[in-house]
Every structure is written in C-alpha cells, then in structure tokens.
Structure 1
Amino acid sequence: MPNIEKEISDKFGGRLRVRVNGVLIKEDKILMIRHDMGQGRSFWNVPGGGMKFGSPATANLAREFAEETGLEIRVEKFLFTFEYLDRPLHAVELFFEVSTNGQNPQLGHDPELPAGTQLIQEVKFMDLDELQSIPNEAKHQVFWDLKSLNDVRIWKGYFNFENKCIK
C-alpha cells in the first residue's frame, strides 16, 4: 500500500512552490477536486498545480486544468494570492478566474506521481450548500466562510493561514 503522505512530502515538500489555481463557476456551481491526503483524509480545492520554469502562469494553469479535468480553459482575470505554510509544504498560490466552452470535466491525473499513488479522486461542480457541508479541515481555507460563490470573484489581496484575513 502506497504511503501517500510520504509521497506528498517527497514530491512537494522542503521547498517553496508557486502554484496556479483556476476558479470555474458555471450555473451557480464551482468546479472542485477531491485529493487523497492519506490516512482516510481528503482535501478539496479548485483545479491547479505547480508552475514549470519558463512557462507563464496562464499556460501553467491551462496545462493543470487539462491534466486534472480534461478541460480546455481561457484564463480570465487574476483574483488573489494565498500563501500556504505548513511544514514541510510551502506554496504561494495565484488564483485566477477561468472560463470554458461548456465541456464536461473528467477525472484526470497527477503526472508527477506514479499510477498507484494518484491524489486526484473526484472532480465535480458543487453548489454553495455542498461546498459548505465539507468540513473546513477537508477544503482549502479560502472556501471556509463563503457567503456566495461570487465572493471569490471579488476578493483582492493577499491571504495566509496565520492572520486569516485580507491585507
């Protein structure tokens, strides 16, 4: 049985990562991905991932969306920055609003990981009630206190876990 926590730490820990994330809202639902975090824990977030050197943020986000959901997207506007720091992981995340031409998402893969330790377990559109029903510890912190899915489109600034506010 693979040790997912060790795989996450080995592949993504001990260094600063820059990540891109795409917010796709369609028909009052937001596209979310459930990741297996090991020991029966899940983590929900919007599609996204690490940037490759020499490739712009928009191209990295389009690649990540295609890998994780099979969707071709258009990157629209920059929304906000979030800093995640919980050793061994440290990431600066750039969130963008994205759009697509109406395709249906499909379960994708993590090309950085072997087939037996894939983190992506589910891809689905969620309405606000469904997103709010997920315990906070099982979803990205920017989604903890949403009052409306449109809130995420109007946030501007910098977020981090320590002060839990917009600066």
Structure 2
Amino acid sequence: MDGEIARVYGNRLRVRVCGLCWQDDDLLVVRHRALSPNGFWAPPGGGLETGETLENALVREFLEETGLHVRAGRFLFGCEFLHPPLHALELFFEATITGGVLQAGDDPELPLLTDAAFLPVATLAAKAEPDAHGIFRLASTAAEVRQLCGFYRI
C-alpha cells in the first residue's frame, strides 16, 4: 500500500458509497494505481461527505471517477474492510447510466485512477489479491455478484 493512502485514509473509519453498474454481464470498474503494484480494480465509489445523501454521493463519485452520469437504484449489500490502518464501511447500490462518456476520471483527494472499463466478473475474480476488490473473492460470476445481499467482511 502506498504511504500516501495510509496518510490520507488511514486511522479513521470511512463510510463509502459504491455502485454496481452493468453492461450485459460486464461490470463497470475503475483501476486505482496506489493500492497494488498491478493496480486495484473496484466498482466506482468513494467517501460520503457530511450532509450528503447516499444517493447523491454515488452520483458524484461516478461522475468524478468515470465521467458517467448515473441514477442511484436500490441498496444491494454492505461490506466492512478492516486492514489497519484502513477501515471502511462500504454501501453498495445499483447504478444506471443516464449520460456522459466513459473515461478514467480523478479522485479529488488523491490522483489515483488510471482506467475505467466494463470487465467480466470472472476476469476480476481471477486477479490475485490485492489486485481486485474483496467482493470478487465472494462472487466469481455476474450471477453470483447479482445475488450478493446482506453484510460481508472482506
């Protein structure tokens, strides 16, 4: 893990909002350069700001990270990520594209994003830890990801 990641995000609980956006059975993911030597692939999402609704945070994060305008759908599941110094509670929602052009965006806190793409879940699940989000250790197909519900520790 990059020392800058630990400095900016470490030693505090972060509440994150993430979205699952599908194109057939391919899932939209973004690649973060500092979390793994090969890049870390994860669904778009980020930190909830004080006074911001979950849905508005999701819409903002998608636009920042992917250039896409989305509509937030139903709540799907939650995850806790606890690997000191990082600790995050992630809330996953459906996301439907309403406009924009797909591109690797930017993270206002740290410029970490190098790619944005729709990828098969099997491709993501085949990546070695820590190169893909922990949900891909729970589910290795599009059908399995779509069945995730409840709460998971990853």
Tell me if TM exceeds 0.5: yes
**Local SS of the residue matching 1:152:** helix
Could you say which residue in structure 1 is the equivalent of 2:152?
159
Superposed structure 1 runs of 4+ greater than 4 Å apart: none
Between 1:120-129 and 1:55-64, the stretch displaced more is 120-129
What amino acid is aligned across from residue 134 of structure 1 in structure 2?
A: K
Larger gyration radius, structure 1 or structure 2: 1
Aligned length: 154
Alignment of 1:55-134 (within 5 A): 55-101=52-98, 103-113=100-110, 118-134=111-127
* TM superposition score normalised by structure 2: 0.92
Gaps of 5+ in 1: 162-167
CA displacement at 1:11 relative to structure 2: 0.9
CA displacement at 1:10 relative to structure 2: 1.2
Gaps of 5+ in 2: none
In structure 2, the CA distance between the partners of 1:102 and 1:56, relative to structure 1 (3 Å rule), is closer
**Local SS of the residue matching 1:138:** coil
Could you say which residue in structure 2 is the equivalent of 1:140?
133
Are the counterparts in 1 of residues 41 and 124 from structure 2 also a CA contact under 8 Å?
no
**Local SS of the residue matching 1:121:** strand
The question of 1:44 aligning with 2:44 is answered no
The question of 1:24 aligning with 2:21 is answered yes
Are the counterparts in 1 of residues 36 and 130 from structure 2 also a CA contact under 8 Å?
no
Write 1 or 2 for the structure with the bigger share of strand: 2
What amino acid is aligned across from residue 122 of structure 2 in structure 1?
A: D
Between 1:127-136 and 1:151-160, the stretch displaced more is 127-136
Superposed CA deviations along residues 2-55 of structure 1, whole A, max 9, x for unmatched, are: xx7121111111100000000001121100111112672421100000000001
